[in-house]
Amino acid sequence: MAARRPCIAVLTGGGDCPGLNAVIRAVVKAALRLGYDCIGFLRGYEGLVDPVSYMPLDRQNTAEILLRGGTILGSTNKGRFTALVGEGERVRIDPELLSQAADTLRRLSVTGLVCVGGDGSLSIAQQLHEHGLPVVGVPKTIDNDLGSTAFTFGFDSAVATATDALDRLHTTAASHERVMVLEVMGRHAGWIALHAGIAGGGDVILIPEIPWSFAAVCHQVRAREAEGRRSTLVVVAEGAQWPGGGLVHDTPAGEKRQVRLGGIGERVAAELTQRLDREVRTVVLGHLQRGGTPTPFDRMLATQFGAHAVALVHEGRFGEMVRYRPPHIEGVPIADAIRELSVVDPASSAVRAARALGVSFGDETAAGCGAAAEG
Ligand code: F6P
């Protein structure tokens, strides 16, 4: 009987994003060339434990997935493996589950497991690593909020979708002389709002990293009107703090996962309608930001991440995550990457450039605006 070839496994955890399939394809192509067989666990970490579920991966079944959104392996951000709950509180995974996962890898002769995920999924990967499992990480999320890497794949595609939405909102807002509010995703980081807000010519950008007030937002709308600009686009990140404090979310009580943000766009629009006595409309972009074809940048990044993850396995560098540190793709301990979220620096050149162009972040204290902390 022919000797069994060593095997590299891959799984995709947490919320999906464009580029996951590009990583899977890259892992498979690179691994096969180094003499490994490949399998993919299904539905994230759930596939590792009873009932164990996986599929063989080869050149045929990964041949046309480079540009396909979602993940052919499926994913879940619920389930038995949970390392983060609430607003980022860390919890330990049941050791029995970790041992079951270890048994599965042993039984299937898995040399290395590539875990593709955001902070929640990589926190699980870290616990698997601490339990002695041979894991490497690949950073994915539209939110771009993972530490240690300049970009996660998925972010560029989400920004492209949000920018396209703003492009479209400009024309309808101008026709009806309306204030329009676009709510975008991003969890506790304002990366999508900032990048799409600038790329799409937003007039107000509200992000979690900069406390803002309705007085300043109204001032911006009125100042534009005084210049003859009768429409205004407001981009608000789902994780922006409500003036005076607090997040807007609708997480059912007792849910064993991170809070589900969303709803701030409608509330901002309602408040602006009252304060400005103007027609205000809201668009919540939601999961459109997560679906569809990855941009060329995301395909490129995902492909490099996948190939480099295989190299980490081949070199036995377990417990590391691939990262983009321009111009290099390299390894970094997963523990470092999940230690702190990457958030927008209010003093960054992007924020300063936007301010220089007259974009409001809702924190201006010019005459008539009131203080930023005021509601
Ligand atoms: O982390 C990615 C993300 O899309 C966030 O931007 C958003 O808050 C969350 O996931 C939504 O998750 P769900 O899949 O539970 O709707």
pLDDT tens digits along 351-374: 999 999 999 999 987 544 444 444
Position in ligand 1 atom list of the atom nearest CA 289: 4
Q: Which domain holds residue 352?
A: 157-291+345-356
373 falls within a domain: no
CA angle, 203 as apex, 198 and 208 as ends, to 5°?
70
97 shares its domain with 187: no
309 shares its domain with 230: no
Mean pLDDT, to the nearest integer, of 73-99?
Answer: 86
Mean pLDDT, to the nearest integer, of 161-182?
Answer: 97
88 shares its domain with 107: yes
Q: For the domain that residue 69 is a member of, what is the CATH number?
A: 3.40.50.450
139 falls within a domain: yes
322 shares its domain with 254: no
pLDDT higher than 80, residue 253: no
144 shares its domain with 170: no
250 shares its domain with 202: yes
364 falls within a domain: no
Of 203-217, 233-247, 345-359, 360-374, the least confident: 360-374
Q: For the domain that residue 195 is a member of, what is the CATH number?
A: 3.40.50.460
261 shares its domain with 312: no
pTM of the prediction? 0.94
179 falls within a domain: yes
218 falls within a domain: yes
Rounded CA separation 302/154 (Å): 9
188 shares its domain with 300: no
Output the ligand 1 site: residues, CB below 6 A.
15, 77, 118, 141-143, 185-187, 238, 260-261, 290
Which of 16, 123, 140, 142 gets mutated to test ligand 1 (max ligand atoms within 8 A of its CB)? 142
83 shares its domain with 174: no
Helix axes 349-356, 191-199, angle to 10 degrees: 40
274 C-alpha to ligand 1 centroid (Å):
30
88, 341 contact by CB (below 8 A): yes
311 shares its domain with 245: no
35 shares its domain with 123: yes
Q: Which pLDDT score, from 0 to 100, does residue 355 have?
A: 98
The contacts of residue 197 (CB under 8 Å, 6+ apart) are: 166, 205, 235, 354, 359
Position in ligand 1 atom list of the atom nearest CA 261: 8
Q: Which pLDDT score, from 0 to 100, does residue 219 have?
A: 97
327 shares its domain with 212: no
| 26-47 tens-digit pLDDT | 999 999 999 999 999 999 999 9
Mean pLDDT, to the nearest integer, of 80-88?
Answer: 80
55, 40 contact by CB (below 8 A): yes
pLDDT band at 2 (very low <50, low <70, confident <90, very high): low
CA angle, 288 as apex, 285 and 291 as ends, to 5°?
160
The total number of structural domains that make up the chain: 2
Q: Which pLDDT score, from 0 to 100, does residue 5 have?
A: 87
pLDDT band at 375 (very low <50, low <70, confident <90, very high): low
| 302-324 tens-digit pLDDT | 999 999 999 999 999 999 999 99
Q: Which pLDDT score, from 0 to 100, does residue 373 have?
A: 42
Which of 194, 257, 285, 290 gets mutated to test ligand 1 (max ligand atoms within 8 A of its CB)? 290
15 C-alpha to ligand 1 centroid (Å):
6
pLDDT band at 180 (very low <50, low <70, confident <90, very high): very high
DSSP letter for 245, please: S
